[in-house]
Structure 1
Amino acid sequence: MTEAHNNQAPKIKIRGLSKAFGDKVVLDGVDMDIFPGESFLVIGGSGSGKSVLLKCILGLLHPDAGSIEVDGEEVVGARGEDLDRIRRKFGMLFQNSALFDSLPVWENVAFGLIQGQRKPREEARAIALEKLAAVGLNEDVGNLTPAELSGGMRKRVGLARAIATEPEIIFFDEPTTGLDPIMGDVIDRLIVKCVKQLGATALSITHDMASARRISDRTAMLYHGQIIWVGNTATIDNSGNPYVDQFINGRAEGPIEMQVRAL
């Protein structure tokens, strides 16, 4: 997992990351390198630890053991101004878009600019409208409320907000959840375009394999809290790993046991 990547230092370097909730071990010694400018993907079933991994990197959860470095700076244990400075490098597209219902669309997009960067409202609004245009939404949409948007439009607004501060690292949490296949493809293409234009590093988590193939350069699979395979996404069909093979083909039979209770 620590292969040389043109001798670049990792943008995000994770070593020995562990997290348990009571008796349930969710992450069990995860090692991972994500390099500058690459789109890295973590796949795995529900409850495999994908979201917990993301929350640990974001500093929302404190791991029980291990190290997370962003540009060589330790996230685990960072507090106050140090943590804020690291987080300013981040953009995030949440699974359900997580828009503020009480704010118009443009203000949702500009939230990090106004609250985090203290930009004047007019300047923040101009940037917000520019980012909305980048995801194919016109100026009129900026004045709507989130309640007036379709699922696909909400996701676009969420993406516009994720890129508004021009972050160095963007996190995508199940970016196509709740979308039909065509809108899922549209969102994936927008993600790829926006990440490329920013020159950002991307980390996505998903169990949508069609989306996974479209948005990522490299993929890692989490199973029982451990990385059991990592490689180029283009080679995932020939991984030689029975767990990966079962997961990406959506087969009920295989080494992954689904927790299903009899009715």
Structure 2
Amino acid sequence: MASPKISLRGVTKAFGPKKVLQGIELDVAPGESMVVIGGSGTGKSVLLKCILGLLKPDQGSIKVDGEETRGLSDRDRARIMRKFGMLFQGGALFDSLRVWENVAFGPIQSDGMPADQAREVAVAKLGAVGLGPEISDLFPSELSGGMQKRVALARAIAREPEIIFFDEPTTGLDPIMADVINDLIVKSVSSLGATAISITHDMASARKIGHRIGMLHEGKLIWQGPVADIDHSGNAYVDQFIHGRAEGPIRMQVRKL
């Protein structure tokens, strides 16, 4: 087996008395698409932020291409971050920048690419997600939610990253547009040969974009396996979550009226 692209061992993170991650063990192979599912507040976003270095884990090891990323200098952190692209929840486009400037933000700001060349890159990446050059000079507010998400995907792949993170990529989209985005994610990851980690509540999305699924519950990855195995995981927590049942071992905090 090839060495993992991303490897986590014993990763913990707490905020005061609240233990958010409790000993995460995870390997993601090169070119693999890993999807992490779980309820709100289970630590999915914290997990991504720890891998990206936006948060410092309290304990454990996080390796990218075999290199330990904890405690890196700013220069080495920047070098590692060059490998990453990210599709943020809600898109997180810059309202004051035109569409092409949003897509070209990384090439211009991080790579020092001249604006005219960066615009050509932006138009090409917009084309890759099914958007024509005529939208390049529009502002995000002039686009539908689905088009904004596609622009955000174009931005995520603009620097042709080796690793892409998808944070709730279909949130706020109708089922048809969500499926369009899922198809584009699969196509984009495949064409780049990228490694992907996605976090989502959307099981239709998880099944479509993932090779493997892991479930995070109370700060622990309680199950991992191929997408095809999730319907017969033998795990009561996984079974309750994927079928959206109120009754089961996962207890929602609901205040009695």
TM-score clears 0.5: yes
Provide the rounded CA distance (Å) in 2 between the counterparts of 1:145 and 1:34.
Answer: 36
- Counterparts of 1:100-119 in structure 2, within 5 Å, are 100-119=94-113
Give the residue type in structure 1 aligned to 2:239.
D
Where does residue 238 of structure 1 map in the other structure?
A: 232
**Gap runs ≥5 in structure 2:** none
Provide the rounded CA distance (Å) in 2 between the counterparts of 1:152 and 1:94.
Answer: 14
Structure 2 residue 20 is the aligned partner of structure 1 residue 30 = no
Provide the rounded CA distance (Å) in 2 between the counterparts of 1:128 and 1:107.
Answer: 8
Provide the rounded CA distance (Å) in 1 between the counterparts of 2:8 and 2:200.
Answer: 19
Provide the rounded CA distance (Å) in 2 between the counterparts of 1:260 and 1:47.
Answer: 14
* Aligned mate of 1:123, from 114, 117, 120: 117
1:242, CA displacement in angstroms?
Answer: 0.4
Provide the rounded CA distance (Å) in 1 between the counterparts of 2:135 and 2:60.
Answer: 44
* Aligned mate of 2:44, from 46, 50, 74: 50
* Aligned mate of 2:89, from 90, 95, 108: 95
Where does residue 139 of structure 2 map in the other structure?
A: 145
Where does residue 191 of structure 1 map in the other structure?
A: 185
Give the residue type in structure 2 aligned to 1:196.
S
Give the residue type in structure 1 aligned to 2:92.
A
TM-score (norm 1): 0.97
Q: Once superposed, what is the RMSD of the aligned Cα atoms?
A: 0.6
SS of aligned partner of 2:134: helix
1:146, CA displacement in angstroms?
Answer: 0.7
1:94, CA displacement in angstroms?
Answer: 0.2
**Gap runs ≥5 in structure 1:** 1-6
Provide the rounded CA distance (Å) in 2 between the counterparts of 1:61 and 1:79.
Answer: 15
Where does residue 4 of structure 1 map in the other structure?
A: none
1:79, CA displacement in angstroms?
Answer: 2.8
Q: Mean Cα displacement is larger for which, 74-83 or 157-166?
A: 74-83
Structure 2 residue 53 is the aligned partner of structure 1 residue 68 = no
Provide the rounded CA distance (Å) in 2 between the counterparts of 1:15 and 1:260.
Answer: 34
Give the residue type in structure 2 aligned to 1:208.
D
User: What per-residue deviation string (whole Å, max 9, x for no partner) do you get for residues 66-111 of structure 1?
Assistant: 1100001112222311000000000000001110111000000000
* Aligned mate of 1:227, from 216, 221, 227: 221
Provide the rounded CA distance (Å) in 2 between the counterparts of 1:236 and 1:258.
Answer: 22
Structure 2 residue 195 is the aligned partner of structure 1 residue 201 = yes
- Structure 1 moving runs of 4+ over 4 Å: none
1:11, CA displacement in angstroms?
Answer: 0.1
Give the residue type in structure 1 aligned to 2:34.
F
1:261, CA displacement in angstroms?
Answer: 1.4
TM-score (norm 2): 0.99
Provide the rounded CA distance (Å) in 1 between the counterparts of 2:139 and 2:156.
Answer: 18
Provide the rounded CA distance (Å) in 1 between the counterparts of 2:151 and 2:192.
Answer: 17
Give the residue type in structure 2 aligned to 1:257.
R
Provide the rounded CA distance (Å) in 1 between the counterparts of 2:88 and 2:71.
Answer: 24
* Aligned mate of 1:169, from 163, 170, 180: 163
Structure 2 residue 164 is the aligned partner of structure 1 residue 158 = no
Provide the rounded CA distance (Å) in 2 between the counterparts of 1:116 and 1:212.
Answer: 31
1:185, CA displacement in angstroms?
Answer: 0.1
User: What per-residue deviation string (whole Å, max 9, x for no partner) do you get for residues 26-52 of structure 1?
Assistant: 000000000000100100000000000
* Aligned mate of 1:133, from 127, 135, 149: 127
